[in-house]
Amino acid sequence: MYRLLFLVLLITLAAPATRAQHAGDMAGMAGMAMPKATSSAPGAAVKRLTLQGGWVAATPPGVSESAAYLTLQNPGPSAAVLVGASTPVAAHTMLMTSHTDAQKRVSMQPLNRLSIPAGGRGTFAPGQAHIMLSGLRRPLSPGTKVQLTLRFSDGSARTVSLLVRRAAP
């Protein structure tokens, strides 16, 4: 029960965006199979992406889940599609989305992809889409860094370094 409560708290650390903003970030994500990365050389769209505000939620000892949050800005002329992630600090890493129903119950569902439109951005934020880190191999202490490898639909991968924080910046 403690883990479930911690997970719900973790996902709702920051005020969620409006449903319209959330729907815009999530447009067109359902129903896509997750391709395996075949190359680590980034494609043109992936090379142009910039990371904004990335962080990972700190965990107390004994908690085996956390979440990563970040925004990827795409100044380029073509879309980039994030299809997965991995990190050495967790056994499993999944793209997820959170929904709150009318009774304020939070549920999570797998997210097959996050499209980062040309000239736009893709956002993972508390209470919305997030990158779930499950089966943590160690507690995540504030001030440390986590390496997160992002996988894209063109087969490329890109590794970013995210600061571990107690709460959203």
Break the chain into its structural domains and give their ranges: 2-13+47-165
Are 56 and 162 a contacting pair, CB within 8 Å?
yes
Residue 108 is predicted with a pLDDT of: 92
Are 108 and 80 a contacting pair, CB within 8 Å?
no
CATH classification code of 2-13+47-165: 2.60.40.1890
Residue 44 is predicted with a pLDDT of: 74
Residue 47 is predicted with a pLDDT of: 87
Residue 43 is predicted with a pLDDT of: 76
Other C-beta atoms within 10 Å of 64: how many?
16
Residue 45 is predicted with a pLDDT of: 78
Residue 26 is predicted with a pLDDT of: 39
| 15/100 Cα distance (integer angstroms) | 12
Residue 1 is predicted with a pLDDT of: 39
Question: pTM of the full predicted structure?
Answer: 0.75
Residue 33 is predicted with a pLDDT of: 34
Residue 40 is predicted with a pLDDT of: 52
Residue 46 is predicted with a pLDDT of: 87
Exposure on the CB side of residue 23, measured as CA atoms within 13 A? 3
| 107/93 Cα distance (integer angstroms) | 18
Identify the helix (H) or strand (E) that includes residue 163: strand 157-165
| 150/147 Cα distance (integer angstroms) | 10
Sequential pLDDT tens for the chain (169 residues): 344 334 444 444 333 333 333 333 333 333 333 333 344 556 777 889 999 999 999 999 899 999 999 999 999 999 999 999 999 999 999 999 998 899 999 899 999 999 999 999 999 999 999 999 999 999 999 999 999 999 999 999 999 999 999 998 8
42: amino acid identity, one letter: P
| Concatenated DSSP letters of 84-133 | EEE-TTEEEEEEEEEEE-TT--EEEEE---EEE-TT-EEEE-TTSEEEEE
Residue 19 is predicted with a pLDDT of: 33
* First vs last C-alpha separation in the chain: 27
